[in-house]
Amino acid sequence: MFELYLDTANAQEVARLNAAMPVFGVTTNPSILAKEGKGLSTILPEIKEVLGEQARFHVQVVSTTTEAMVAEAVQLSQLPYDIVVKIPTTVIGLAAIKQLKAKKISILETAIYSAQQGFMAALCGADYLAPYVNRIDVLGANSVNIVSDLQLLINQHNLNCKLLPASFKNTRQVMDILRLGVNSITLPSDIAEQMMIHPSVQPAVDVFSQDWQDAFEGKLAYQS
Ligand code: G3P
């Protein structure tokens, strides 16, 4: 099943978008929470209220040593939600995944900028990999090639790991990545909204309405 996430900590945005799209859960990071000015103890219940019991939350550790990341991840995993713990894909983060997988904690490896870095995380046992599409592109690298290589490696080695690409700045980037067959994606609210709209749609609908009124004034379709 495809998992569509919103990369936000704003419950109002989640509610607005979830009304028209099948939101599987939410991804956050320390910058997103800082921008929202709210911590996990506030936003997790707010968003669960919106999405329901089945909502999945990807929440990131802020610790900076392997031991502290592991301890923080254990605490996060015990919160009363469907939690995937996000760990930055650094050398100390990779060491943390190895320990956390032994404890059967669900892990997303975040801040992936290269296929080799993501492959290491997958081998260490990450459940999800989050390549940073736009950040890769602005560095002059090719996010499509990197995500494609990662998907290939996951398939070749039958790794139990999903790609969850993040960091999008336009819908073309989203479609280029979706075309690769990834199992999940996380979108900022503005890009999620753009996925549903096109400037030609409303004019087309307006013409349908006018034509209908001209021919069948006041009637609904089943009354015609
Ligand atoms: O989840 C990671 C994502 O939030 C990074 O996105 O827009 O800061 O590059 P961005």
79 in a domain, yes or no? yes
Instruction: Specify whether 86 is catalytic.
Output: yes
In a domain, 57, yes or no: yes
132: CATH: 3.20.20.70
Ligand 1 atom 10: the closest Cα is on which residue?
167
> Mean per-residue pLDDT for 110-116?
98
Structural domain includes residue 206 = no
80 CA to middle of ligand 1, Å? 25
- The domain tally of the chain equals 1
For 62-90, how does the pLDDT look when each residue is reduced to its tens digit (9 = 90+)?
999 999 999 999 999 999 999 999 999 99
The reply to whether 208 falls in a domain is: no
User: Between vectors from CA 158 to CA 66 and to CA 72, what angle results, nearest 5°?
Assistant: 20
Residue 213 located in a structural domain: no
Give 128-155 pLDDT, tens digit per residue: 999 999 999 999 999 999 999 999 999 9
Atom of ligand 1 nearest to the CA of 28: 1
Q: Is residue 211 part of a domain?
A: no
Closest alpha carbon to 112 in 160, 40, 165, 76: 165
pTM (2 decimals)? 0.95
In what helix (H) or strand (E) does residue 173 lie, and over which residues does it extend?
A: helix 171-178
The runs of H, that is alpha helices, within 7-65 are 11-18, 30-36, 40-51
Residue 224: inside a domain: no
Boundaries of domain holding 169 = 3-199
Write out residues with Cβ below 6 Å of ligand 1.
Answer: 7, 27, 29, 132, 134-135, 166-167, 186
Q: How sure is the predictor about 189, in pLDDT bands with cuts at 50, 70 and 90? A: very high
Residue 65 to residue 179: CA distance in whole angstroms = 37
Q: Are 6 and 185 in contact (CB under 8 A)?
A: no
Tell me the pLDDT tens digit for each residue of 23-63. Answer: 999 999 999 999 999 999 999 999 999 999 999 999 999 99
Among the listed residues 38, 86, 98, 101, the single catalytic one is: 86
Give me the pLDDT at residue 155, please: 96
